[in-house]
Every structure is written in C-alpha cells, then in structure tokens.
Amino acid sequence: IFLLYLIISLAPEKVRNILIFAFIAFLFAIPVSGLWGSGQSEQYLIGGILPFSDARFYYMDARRLLEGGQFITGAGRRPLFAALLASLQWMTGQNLLASLAVLVIILSLSTYFAVREVHSSESQVAAGFFLVLVFFYIRFLLGKTMSEMLGLPLGLLAFFYLYRSATYKRGLYFLLGLLLLTLALNARAGAFFVLPVLVIWSVFAFRETKGINWRLGFFGILTIAAGFAVNMWIFSSLSQPDNTPFGNFSFTLYGLSRGGQSWTLIYEEHPEVFTLTGNQVYDSVYRMAIENIRSDPGQLIKGIAGSYSMFFSLDDYYGSLCWLGGSNTLGMVTRLTVYFLLCVGVLVSVKNFKKANHALLLLAFLGIILSVAAIPPRDSNHMRVFAATLPFYAMMPVHGLSFLISKISLLNNKSPDAAPISAAAPGILGSLLILLMTIVPVLISKNSDKPMSERVDCPAGQVALSFRLLPGNHINIHEPASLDYEWVPDLKKDNFSKLTHDLPNWELFPVLTGLQDGQMVVSDLDLNQMQEILLITDKEKLRQDPGIQTICAVFQTEPDLKQFNVYLSN
C-alpha cells in the first residue's frame, strides 16, 4: 500500500488526484468484496452481509424508522449513524449492499482529503504511511453497519480542517473542524477530552498579539455545544423517550469502579437491574458505580491504571495498535516499531511546540491519552472507541517516520509539486453528511407510516411474522454443485457452514450449520411487533420481492437462542 501510493503520487498532476482517489476507493472496496464473495461470518456479520450483534442494532433501527417506528435499541443512544443509515437505505430503495457501497465511497473521499492534506503539508512519505494506518484500522469494520463508518469519516474531515487551520491560521477552518469532530464523537463516542483541549490550543494558536484569543475560544465552546445540540435533537426526534444518550457509559463506569472489570460485570453482579425499564436501568447503575467509588476509591484508581497499561501494550485485541498486524511475532514487531515511531513523533512535536501544527497534534494526542481513563480499552475491541480521533493518533508515528527519513539525505521526503487541494470539497461532503443524518431522517420519520400487514391465522404453537425480503437482509443456501460461484445472497452450503465457525456466538452454530439446500436466512423486522427476527425458512415459501409478506413460524424458546429471536418455518 505504502509503495503503491508513492508510485501513484508521482503521476502527472492532471491525473494524480484521480488516481489517488481511485486507489483509495479500490483499497477499501477489496475487504467488502471479499466478504460478499465468500459469505464469511464474523463478529458483526453472518454470511458476509447480514448485520449481527451491534451492527444488527443499527440496521434494525434504520429499518424501524423507514417503517414508521423509532430507534429503540442500544443504537438509539447514539442515533447519528442509525439516522445516516436510514437516509442511505431510503435513497437506495432499502438495498443494504448499495448503502454499504455508499459508506465505502464516503470513507474513501474523506480519507482522500485527509491524505492529500498530509501530503501537501508534510510529504508523500507521510501521506503514504498515514493511509496505511487508516486502512489497517478500519479494514476490520468495512462492509458492516457500525457507527465507526461515520465516526471515522467525520474525524478525517475534522482532521483536514483542523490541520489546515494550523497551517494557514484560519479561525473558520478551526470552527468547521471542531464542529465535525464534535459530531464524530457523538456518532461514535470516544475521546471527548480532545474537544476542550483543542479549544485551549486555539486561543493561543490564533492570537494576533501576546494576548489570548478569547473570542475564538468562546465561539469554539459554542461550536461544541452546537454539535451536542444536533445529537440531542436527533435523539429526541427519532429515539424512544425512555432511552438515554450515552447511557451505556454507566456500565463502563461500574466496571471501572470495581477495579477495571469489563462493562458486562453489571450483568453478573446485579442482574436484577435489568428488570427495570428505560432510564431506570442507567440511573440505577450510575448510583451503584458512584457508591462503589465512595466506598473504595482505590478500585477506581486500579481500574484507570489498568486501562493505561492495556492501552500502551502490545496486545493484539485491546492495545492501542491492536489493529496493526496479527497475533504472531511479526505483528508484535510491527506494533513495537510503530510505538517507537510514535515516541519519536511525540518528541519532535514537543521540540517544535511553538509551531501551530505540532502543538495541535501534541495537544490532541494529550486529549486522547486523558480520555483513556474514562474509556477502558478492554470495553472496545480493536480500539473502535477511538475511531473519531484515529487521524490525530496516527499522525504521531507519521511525524516520527517523517523526522527519521528527513535525516537520511539520500531520500527526498518532500514532493515538490504537492499543491494543497481546495477546502471546499471536504466542506461539501461534510455538509452532505450532516444533512443525511439530521434533516433527511427527520423528514423520513414524519412521512413514514406503520405498514399494514396481512392477517394470517397460524396453527397452535406458531406466530405470524410480517416482514420484507430486501437486498442484503437474507442469504440463500445452495448445494455446492448447483452454484458456479458465491456472491451474496447465494452461498454454498459447505462453505457457509465452515465459515460460520468464525462467528463468536456459538449458540447459533447448530442452527446455522444445519442449513440445507433451498433454505434461506432472513434478518428483518417483524412488522407486527417492530422487533428484529432471524427467520429460517424454505426459499420456495417466500415471494422474491420487497413487498410485505406474512408467514407462520415457530419461535425458538431454547435459552441459548431466545436472545437472537430465532424463528423456524419448515
């Protein structure tokens, strides 16, 4: 990736930008096509396309909105991505494959803008390394309906404007970047301490004399407040009132108060809490967490210390660079090397602190590090919680590499004709994203009515399910000999069964690995109850169109399957 970028960046100026964007888009499309062509099941995916776990929450809430409902799952606590997904689904005729492709294009554009900014202000080597880090971070989440697919693009656009504001001393660029970063952190909650740190940076970086630019600081605070206000508006407009913004932080705080345990500890120690409803759950957990801290504050200190230890570790699942390399020796060496470059980058920024861009990156890095105390790495695999601020974290090792290469006289680290791109294009993309996660979904909500489903009398022990068969919400199982090649939704039985074992939820193995030729899996809403379902039935029983259809099925009451709302119709 690094070498290809360097080669492409040497192309003639007339075609260089087009080639760089095409390369980035192709790079991000490869993992998605791999999922669609293999039917791979992973932590957030069944059969290469069906959203699962957290991804299922976002997808189903988007479906609810389009069917006249509201956000009711955990996705409703952070509604911006579900709102964006609903807009994309509405635009594409509820075609999940097309919506995922649009998300890849959005990510490709935002990455392109950030990479070109690094190239023009730093070097082609720095830009190439920055691209490598962004790709390795997000590759695990490509093709999945996860909030990082909004948090990272907004974070990249924010990085573009904030870094350019440091270069050109433009207060407007700073405020645009700050707004985008605030929205990014609301879309994918993470290192919130970066926001006040950036405001502090701005009042010194943009001063005209030796004084402090209080005016810009004031507008910076207003900008942050505006970003949170947008999130609250969407929350109040689209989510059920008994939900709580960022309510799941109470689970994280409880784990910290018990010495740095997982956020799931509350389920083990106080299962009675979940007999409560709505906001009562979060209020109760907050009270218990605060009581734990009061009675034994040392446990909180222990938990925070453990978070920092894990963050800076070489762990391939929870370390801050866990997304870089695998669990083998090469992966550990890679992470250790990047940590070294990161340390060099920090030292370079400290030495050049009087330069606005170095001060920006150093203080943003400090904001990320301060945030680790409140967002334990063990509660977010692959550092997903740092998606919005990943560009700022990645720039530290990028600066380290640039510094070391600059000391090698034989290497030309600067591209002589890397002119900065227009600041208008990233603004257009950012404005479009804001529109698609605010105005458009609100209009969809106001103009969507709950559908009328067919009334069907089912035999005893069965229930009537009404749903839609949409592109991307089902897979078809075939005998290997009857299918020349796999591409969702059509998958070979043997391969699907084998790849299902990569799904972390073993409870579904017996059901999914036992599928036969002619059967299909549908992941949609039961439009009668507005609840998500995982329906297994024969393909010949269903119409192959997006209209509402009703079928009788048996709810699987086994304890291991109840949580997934599995229904069988044989």
Q: Are 398 and 129 in contact (CB under 8 A)?
A: yes
* Three-point CA angle 214, 390, 232, nearest 5°: 60
What are the residue ranges spanned by the domains of the chain? 2-38+70-246+295-445, 463-569
- Distance in angstroms between the alpha carbons of the first and the last residue of the chain: 48
Q: Which two tokens stand for residue 521?
A: 């899996």
CA dihedral 277→279→282→285, nearest 10 degrees, is -60
Q: CB 478: neighbour CB atoms within 10 A?
A: 18
pTM of the model: 0.94
C-alpha 329, offset from chain centre: 28
Residue 416: predicted pLDDT: 44
CA pair distance 515, 299, nearest whole angstrom: 48
Q: Whose CA is closest to 373, among 385, 390, 387, 359?
A: 385
Handedness of CA 207, 211, 217, 218 (dihedral sign): negative
Q: CB 295: neighbour CB atoms within 10 A?
A: 9
Bridge-partner residues for 476, per DSSP? Answer: 490, 520
Q: Are 535 and 467 in contact (CB under 8 A)?
A: yes
Kindly give the confidence (pLDDT) of every residue in the chain, 570 residues in length, as a single tens digit, with 9 standing for 90 and above: 999 999 998 888 889 999 999 999 999 999 999 999 999 999 999 999 999 999 999 999 999 999 999 998 767 678 999 999 999 999 999 999 999 999 999 999 999 999 999 999 988 999 999 999 999 999 999 999 999 999 999 999 999 999 999 999 999 999 999 999 999 999 999 999 999 999 999 999 998 777 889 999 999 999 999 999 999 999 999 998 777 777 778 889 999 999 988 888 988 888 888 788 777 888 899 999 999 999 999 999 999 999 999 999 999 889 999 999 888 899 999 999 999 999 999 999 999 999 999 999 999 999 999 999 999 888 888 899 999 999 999 999 999 999 998 887 555 544 545 678 899 999 999 999 999 999 999 999 999 888 887 889 999 999 999 999 999 999 999 999 999 999 999 999 999 999 998 788 888 998 999 999 999 999 999 999 999 999 999 999 999 999 999 999 999 999 889 889 999 997
Cβ-based neighbours of 505, under 8 Å, separated by 6 or more: 52, 53, 564
CA pair distance 487, 469, nearest whole angstrom: 17
CA pair distance 126, 119, nearest whole angstrom: 7
CA pair distance 188, 78, nearest whole angstrom: 7
Cβ-based neighbours of 536, under 8 Å, separated by 6 or more: 511, 515, 519, 520, 521, 522, 566, 567, 568, 569
Which amino acid makes up residue 440? Answer: V
